[in-house]
Amino acid sequence: MKTTKNKIKGLSEREVKVIAWLEFHQKYFFTSDDISHFFKNKQIMYSAIKRFMKKNRIIKLNQKKYYLVPIKAKSGSWSEHSFIIADETLNSEGYYIGGWSAANYWKLTEQIPMKISVYTNKRQGKKTILNTKFIFHRIRKENIRKSVIRKIRGHSFRILSKKESEKWLKLRNW
């Protein structure tokens, strides 16, 4: 009979090592370069990343960045603040959070947003990450100056300034 010492149900020994290393170094947002030293080559690494995604242990944020679902999330479900997810998805540049999310952040409305509006010069469209709906709106690069940098849980993010959020809200006749 084979022993299952140090094994978490559904994870191989190598997968446990990778997750433990990422958690020990508190790299919940990471790139493939961060874990490449665990694998002989890129093909093996990307196969492992696919298995992690199938097992809901990591979530792909963009072409190069992933989010680690901590081991303490037994069922594979976890949540992270949506502003942090937006910042990490766009690599902390070329975006700001606006719309109802910004108005709610500045306490200009009590309406809790159902989706996060992210204004960026990099992408557009809709994406659901960790059960949060993000809508990416395309803007010009110079419009990013309307944002300010704030911190939440020790993580910086960009959000539409309070003055600009008030203007946005007035356009909605609120």
SS3 146: helix
pLDDT at 4: 37
Find tokens 């947003």 and name the residue: 113
70 vs 97: CA distance, rounded Å: 26
Q: Does residue 74 belong to any structural domain of this protein?
A: no
pLDDT at 63: 87
64 & 100 share domain: no
Nearest alpha carbon to residue 145 among 160, 123, 166, 167:
160
pLDDT at 7: 43
Q: What residue spans of 55-120 are helical by DSSP H?
A: 82-89, 99-105
Low-confidence ranges of the chain (pLDDT < 50): 1-7
Q: Which of 42, 68, 94 is the last residue of a domain?
A: 68
108 & 58 share domain: no
135 & 163 share domain: yes
Q: Does residue 76 belong to any structural domain of this protein?
A: no
106 & 165 share domain: yes
55 & 129 share domain: no
Q: Does residue 3 belong to any structural domain of this protein?
A: no
Owning domain of residue 88:
82-171
Q: Does residue 4 belong to any structural domain of this protein?
A: no
93 & 165 share domain: yes
Q: Does residue 77 belong to any structural domain of this protein?
A: no
Q: Looking at the 3D structure of the chain, how many domains does it have?
A: 2
Count the alpha carbons within 13 Å of 115 in the hemisphere toward its beta carbon. 12
